[in-house]
Amino acid sequence: NLYKDEKTTLRDLDKIWDNYNKTRIDFQIKNLLKDPEFWWYIGIWLAEGWVYTNSKGYKTIHTTHNNLTELKYLERINNLFERYNRNVSYTNKGNNCFEAKLSSSQIHDFLLENFGKYASGKNIPEWAKYIPKNLKLKLLEGYLNGDGCTFVDGRR
């Protein structure tokens, strides 16, 4: 692990998040970067999500989930953002697929500027590789919940 040293401190996370307090004060969300569940969400967003800005500048964050095996993730996303007084809407897209949508220009801009866009354009920024270990583990958990799998293939 090249990123053992936790160079990105909790104080650094405050500074990073302050860059995204550009919205109206009543729309601002307190620092999510100290919340391990938000790092889980970033992981699942990296695996299953995207950001969108419509023609009127309305910004949303989306993830998709299988409604047969991933309902627990929808509940987890809802519980996370309820703590920050944000509503998540859900749409049944058919074929056992649900889409979770969150409206927040603050989170939208943070994800877009730090983690990228589209499957081929997403990455983990260098500063995030040095966050405290508990947050890195949540990021990894979220990513594996989204795109990862475990299996036994019979070989030893």
Mean pLDDT for each 10-residue chunk of the chain (156 residues)? Answer: 69 90 77 96 96 95 90 95 94 90 95 93 92 93 82 64
pLDDT of residue 94: 87
- The structure tokens listed for 115 are 């983690």
Distance in angstroms (rounded) separating the CA atoms of residues 45 and 115: 10
User: Which residue, 25, 69, 30, is CA-closest to 48?
Assistant: 69
- The structure tokens listed for 128 are 């995030």
pLDDT of residue 44: 97
pLDDT of residue 148: 64
User: Which residue, 64, 45, 56, is CA-closest to 108?
Assistant: 45
- The structure tokens listed for 71 are 């309902």
Q: Which amino acid is at 72?
A: K
Distance of CA 19 to the CA centre of its chain: 17
Distance in angstroms (rounded) separating the CA atoms of residues 115 and 107: 11
Longest dimension (CA), the chain: 57
Contact between 128 and 8 (Cβ < 8 Å): yes
Distance in angstroms (rounded) separating the CA atoms of residues 143 and 147: 6
